[in-house]
Amino acid sequence: MEQSYQKLITGNRIYAETKLFQDPDYFNKLSKGQKPNYLWIGCSDSRVPANEITSTKSGEIFVHRNIANLVVHTDSNMLSVLEYAVNVLKVEHIIVCGHYGCGGVHASMTNTFHGFVDNWLRHIKDVYHHNEVELKAIEDHEERANRLTEMNVISQVRNLAKTIIVQQAWDERELHLHGWVYGLHNGLVKDLAVIHNHQEDIDPIYQYNISKVTANI
Ligand code: CO
């Protein structure tokens, strides 16, 4: 056990030395601050590391990850990350990235009792229930799971659009929301083209009269 833990420390030494070899000023420059242009909301799955699969460097992507890349409107962790990314870092793009073969999605499609995590997976069950007709028409289990994975991402992008944080940003500037699915089998991202840029993209009941409120103050 100690050996496997030590591997990370050794790896870190190699990382730091390599970076300094390439650029002696590398950490000095990074430590001055961050100005990432992207917020990434992805799955905690160890096979979907945001920077690695997008060939981006430290400082380029602000990252939030949880099981099955969910955007739950009462999740204070996600909302805090979102607020900081949008209002302080002023990111221009938010990417929700799911992945095929997601354990969370697969688990939500069964009646198996998993324990506490079922409270979290309920959000995916709701997506399933909402799209039951289309999903049940897909006979192959794997294909059905793949479609639910895509539907889940689309649903989470919409959840972002429903937040006050995103709608307030839209009132002042451009902010683009994207839904992607990553393929564990080929390393490629599929853009689901669920881009939302305006408040009008979502159902009226979720639209806040942000400008009016601002004007009243
Ligand atoms: Co996953």
**Distance (Å) from CA 173 to ligand 1 centroid:** 32
* Closest residue by Cα to residue 69 from 18, 20, 124: 124
For residue 214, name the pLDDT band (cuts at 50, 70, 90): low
Domain architecture of the chain: domains with CATH = 1-32 (no CATH), 34-216 (3.40.1050.10)
Residue 25 CA to ligand 1 centre (angstroms) = 36
Q: Which residue has the tokens 């929301």?
A: 177
pLDDT at 211 (0 to 100): 78
**Torsion angle of C-alpha atoms 13, 18, 21, 24, degrees rounded to 10:** -70
3-state secondary structure at position 196? strand
Query: How high is the pLDDT of residue 213?
Result: 58
Report, as an integer, the average pLDDT of 76-105.
98
130 is annotated as an active-site residue: no
Quote the ligand 1 centre to 98 CA distance (angstroms). Answer: 7
pLDDT for residue 215: 53
Give per-residue pLDDT as tens, 167-208.
999 999 999 999 999 999 999 999 998 877 788 788 899 999
Place of tokens 């050794």: 10
Q: How far is the CA of 195 from the centre of ligand 1 (A)?
A: 22
Cα–Cα distance, 36 to 133 (Å, whole number): 40
Report pLDDT for 199: 81
The average pLDDT across 80-93 equals 98
Lowest-confidence region among 128-132, 158-162, 211-215: 211-215
Q: What is the pLDDT of residues 114-148, one digit of tens each?
A: 999 999 999 999 999 999 999 999 999 999 999 99
Whether 1 has a pLDDT exceeding 70, the answer reads: no
Indicate if 47 belongs to the active site. Answer: yes
d(CA 186, CA 1): 32
Query: For residue 201, how many other CB atoms are within 10 A of its CB?
Result: 15
Q: What is the pLDDT of residue 195?
A: 72
For the residues 44-51, what does the mean pLDDT come to? 98
